[in-house]
Amino acid sequence: MTTSFCWFVRGNMAASLYVQPMGALLAAMACCCVWGGLYVAATGRPVYRLLSLVPGKFYTVPLLTIAVLAWAWKILIHVKGLDGWR
């Protein structure tokens, strides 16, 4: 996932998704954390108030599904010898 984060930070989203889709998603979530931090800094309100607006069942199952599929993708491209971004 480190390689995926590196590609994401450099702006190459296609490479980030190809190398490790879950890493790209986590990098995007890390960017969202910046906005959450700015919200807390500007308002002084805790961020859990924003998180409580969406029940956990709406993001837990999709995140776990994406993680398993990303793991399978990583195994597939490694077995096929296509695990480097070209």
> By residue range, what is the domain housing residue 35?
2-79
Q: pTM of the entire structure?
A: 0.80
pLDDT, position 54: 84
pLDDT, position 75: 93
Is 25 a domain residue?
yes
pLDDT, position 46: 85
Is 84 a domain residue?
no
Is 54 a domain residue?
yes
Is 23 a domain residue?
yes
Q: Helix 21-43 and helix 57-79: axis angle, to 10°?
A: 140
Cα separation, 77 vs 51, in Å, equals 35
Is 38 a domain residue?
yes
Is 85 a domain residue?
no
Is 69 a domain residue?
yes
Is 31 a domain residue?
yes
Give me 72's structure tokens: 């399978």
Give the DSSP per-residue string, the chain. -HHHHHHHHTT-HHHHHHH-HHHHHHHHHHHHHHHHHHHHHHH---THHHHTTS-THHHHHHHHHHHHHHHHHHHHHHHTT--S--
Q: How many domains does the chain have?
A: 1
